[in-house]
Amino acid sequence: MHSLLRSFTSRLLLPIAALAITGCATLTGKAMQPVDIQVVDGFDRPIPGWRCRASNASAEYFGDSPIRDLQVRRSSSDLQIECHRGSLIARGTAVSRGSVVDGAVKALLPGGTAMLAVDHLSGYRYTYPNWIRLHIGEHLVFDADRQVPGQPAQGLLADVP
């Protein structure tokens, strides 16, 4: 009887402990993420004083480059960035990414699909690159999965505005 109770308790507590450790990002994460935005010339030299607008499905943000620690609300939608100076434009799209490993682990846990749904709807599951360097006259796409810590995200050319 004692071993049956111990077995039942361990079977019940193990999923609860796993759930508590991984946690729902909505409960354990942060709604906002800091993002740095710079505009650079063809030689990768920062050019200050560009008027920038960044937006995702959650909000719009405005500032003059360079923008440091812009608090952006996490969202499943991409962050669209456009900076102007006179007739010149620098554009970027920061791709919203959610952790595949985190999603797979949560899907296996009891209630995991519900946690994934809540994290998706709230946007807490997603992240953007934290350092974006826009190039004058280009539209670049930035992906958080390709960013090296402490360095700007490498942009891929999308098109020319």
Average confidence score pLDDT of the chain: 77
Residues 1-52 pLDDT 10s: 555 545 544 454 444 444 444 444 444 468 899 999 999 999 999 999 999 9
CA distance 141 to 50: 19
**Which tens digits make up the pLDDT trace of 76-121?**
899 999 999 999 999 999 998 875 434 444 444 454 454 444 444 4
Question: Residue 124: its pLDDT value, please?
Answer: 65
Longest dimension (CA), the chain: 80
Taking each helix axis from N to C end, the angle separating 100-108 and 2-22, rounded to the nearest 10 degrees, works out to 150
Buried b / exposed e along 59-86 (16+ C-beta atoms within 10 A): eebeeebbbeebebbbbbebbebbbebe
Its pTM stands at 0.70
Q: Could you read off the pLDDT of 111-122 as tens digits, one per residue?
A: 445 444 444 444
